[in-house]
Amino acid sequence: MVAVNPGVEIASRVSSLASRVQELMKAPGPDANAAVVTWLQDVEAAWSLVKDGAVAQLGPHATSADNLRLAARVAVERLLQMPWVSGETKAALSGYLERHPAARQVGRYQFSSDWMSKCEDDWRKALAPLKGQSHTRALEIGSYEGRSAIWLLENVLTDPTSRITCVDLFAAEYAQRFDSNIAASGAQARVEKLKGTSAAVLRQMAPEPTYDLIYVDGSHQAYDTLEDAVLSWRLLKPGGWMIFDDYGMAQAQLTPHTKIARPDIGIDAFLSAASEHLEVVLKGFQVILRKNPA
C-alpha cells in the first residue's frame, strides 16, 4: 500500500474547496444553497487533515492551520452576505462560525492567524544588532491583532526605553483583540497607536529619520505598497532596517485567481529606484533591506 503524503492530500482538498467557494460567490441565485451546504460539510471534514506539519507543505502563505481556519471563516462570512442564501443555509453557516471561534489562546494572547512564525528565524538573525539596545524605535504599517508587534517587543525591543508605533485602520473586528493582546504583553506603555490609512498617517508624520526599523505590511496592492515604502523611507534612520511582508504572495496562491494582489510589483519598483541607497539582506517570501549608513 502506498502511503499518502498528508501535505499533498491537504493541498488537493484545500485547492478544491477554495475553487468551489469562488464559484459559489458567483452563483446567480437560490439554486446554489444545496452546493453551499455540501461545501460547508466538506470544509468540516477537511479539518481532520489540518495539522501544522502538513499545512506547512502548502507553502509560506499557508504557514499554519490557524491561517486556513481564518480563510475558511472569511469565506463563510462572505457567503452569509449573499442575498440568495436561504434561512436554512444561513443557520448552517452561522453554526459553523459558532463551532470555530475566530481566535484561539496562544499563551497570554488570542490570535486568529499566524503569519509570524514563518519569519521569526530571519528576523532574529537580521535584527540581532538591535536586540536589547536602548531607545530603539520601530514603525509597523499594518498591525492586525498585534502578533508581530508583540514579537518585536519580546525579542528585539526588549529595553524599557524602546518603542513601537503601530499604524493601522484598527477596524472594530480586530482592534479590540489588538488592544487586549498588547495589554497582556505588559508593554502597552511602549506602544503608540496611529489610526488611519498609512497614506494619510505617514504624510502627517514629521519627515525626519526617526526609526531604526520599519515593517511594511499594510495594503497588498502594488501602488499602495510602493507608496508606503516611499513615504516611510524618509522616516528610517541611516543604517536602519526595513522589512516588506508578502513579497512572495503571488507565487504562494493555492488556487488560480484572475485578480490577485501583487505587493511584489511595488516592492521591486522601490528596490530599483532606491538601489543606490540600500542593501538587500534577504529576498524570499519577505524582503529585508538595510538603508546605507550616512
Same domain flag for 50 and 123: no
Least Cα distance to 130 among 240, 256, 226, 56 occurs for 240
Residues contacting 216, CB < 8 A, separation 6+: 141, 142, 225, 228, 229, 232, 242, 243, 244, 245
Reported as a pLDDT band with limits 50, 70 and 90, residue 257 is very low
Return the C-alpha cell found at 89.
443555509
Query: In the prediction, which pLDDT does 123 show?
Result: 97
Say if pTM beats, i.e. exceeds, 0.85. no
> How many domains are there within the chain?
2
Instruction: Describe the strand order of the beta sheet including 211-216 as a list of residue ranges.
Output: 191-195, 163-168, 137-141, 211-216, 236-244, 287-291, 278-283
- Residue 95 · residue 116 · CB < 8 Å: no
DSSP 8-state symbol, 277? G
Same domain flag for 133 and 206: yes
Query: In the prediction, which pLDDT does 48 show?
Result: 72
Same domain flag for 131 and 270: yes
Q: What is the pLDDT of residues 126-141, one digit of tens each?
A: 999 999 999 999 999 9
Same domain flag for 123 and 232: yes
Residue 58 reports pLDDT greater than 60: no
Between CA 29 and CA 27 the distance in angstroms is: 6
Of 56, 73, 102, the residue at which a domain comes to its end is 102
Q: What is the pLDDT of residues 171-189, one digit of tens each?
A: 887 899 999 999 999 999 9
Query: In the prediction, which pLDDT does 96 show?
Result: 84
Of 43, 69, 102, the residue at which a domain comes to its end is 102
Of 48, 68, 102, the residue at which a domain comes to its end is 102
Between CA 231 and CA 102 the distance in angstroms is: 33
The whole domain housing 47 covers: 6-102
Same domain flag for 79 and 166: no
